[in-house]
Amino acid sequence: MPKPHTTFETTGPLATLTFNRPDVRNAMTWEMYQALVDACKAVDATEDVRTLVLKGAGGQAFVAGTDIGQFQEFKSPGDGIAYERRLDEVLERLEKVTKPTIAQIEGVATGGGCAIALACDLRYCTPESRFGMPIARTLGNCLSVANHARLLDLIGPARVKEMIFTGRLINADEAVAVGLVNRVVDANRLDQAVRDVAAAIAENAPLTIMATKEIVRRIQASRRPNPADGRDLIELCYTSEDFAEGVKAFLTKRPPKWKGR
């Protein structure tokens, strides 16, 4: 199932989707998000597959967010809403995969990349990994209600606020300490460590694993507010002068000049 900038392969009970744009730290295009959805469908449709692993090519990044160049196309108040809604649909599909999902993280996982990792069941990273949602110092946009909820489930409100307010990235040691990742593994052992976890999962009762995963997902989903509850704030940010300035500054590699409007 080859797609632009992604590769999908299966080896026995293990399926792997690799985000493959290492020159831009695997920044996601719309086609790459669709490839993630297609991989989820393929895993659900293949009985012999027991685990889906997501990883980034190049060793420098899992995924460094959405390709910012695509935000230049935003023209109307509905564009930001449509983007967050589409991202929510992709991540919800990832959460609903009936097999366990593992994020194999080397380097940075920021913005949409951090969100993808959060939507996986398990996360393993290297000592060099960094995590965050640096939107307050880069673009001036706003996460969806669902993505706020995923962060809240893992690290709690105070840490979510600190992460987004300051725009700082959490290092690997802090990520494992606060429950953002399951384990930190040296880069030269990460691939084998993830394969060992996947193999252990494959040996266990698939219906028990499926039921446990779905029960946890339903509990978390029941606590999430309606997506419409955050649309006014998403629209406010995406239609602001600050967002337009953030996109322009990012693409021209200069610090943004925030105005608060």
| Residue 81 confidence (pLDDT) above 90 | no
Q: Which long-range contacts (CB under 8 A, 24 or more apart) does 182-188 make?
A: 182/122, 182/123, 182/124, 183/124, 183/125, 184/124, 184/125, 184/126, 184/127, 184/129, 185/124, 185/125, 185/126, 186/126, 186/127, 187/59, 187/106, 187/126, 187/127, 187/128
* Cα radius of gyration rounded to whole Å, the chain: 18
Structural domain containing residue 161: 6-189
SS3 110: strand
- State the pLDDT confidence band at 3, using cuts at 50, 70 and 90: low
Per-residue confidence (pLDDT) for residue 72, from 0 to 100: 80
198 within a domain of the structure (yes/no) = no
245 within a domain of the structure (yes/no) = no
The closest of 105, 2, 92, 93 to 53, measured between CA atoms, is: 105
| Residue 118 confidence (pLDDT) above 70 | yes
Per-residue confidence (pLDDT) for residue 70, from 0 to 100: 80
**CATH code for position 111:** 3.90.226.10
C-alpha 115/C-alpha 131 separation (Å) is 10
- State the pLDDT confidence band at 80, using cuts at 50, 70 and 90: confident
251 within a domain of the structure (yes/no) = no
- State the pLDDT confidence band at 2, using cuts at 50, 70 and 90: low
259 within a domain of the structure (yes/no) = no
243 within a domain of the structure (yes/no) = no
73 within a domain of the structure (yes/no) = yes
Per-residue confidence (pLDDT) for residue 128, from 0 to 100: 96
Residue range 128-162, pLDDT digits in tens: 999 999 999 999 999 999 999 999 999 999 999 99
238 within a domain of the structure (yes/no) = no
Per-residue confidence (pLDDT) for residue 95, from 0 to 100: 97
Q: Which residue has the higher pLDDT, 67 or 108?
A: 108
21 within a domain of the structure (yes/no) = yes
C-alpha 83/C-alpha 65 separation (Å) is 13
The tally of domains found in the chain comes to 1
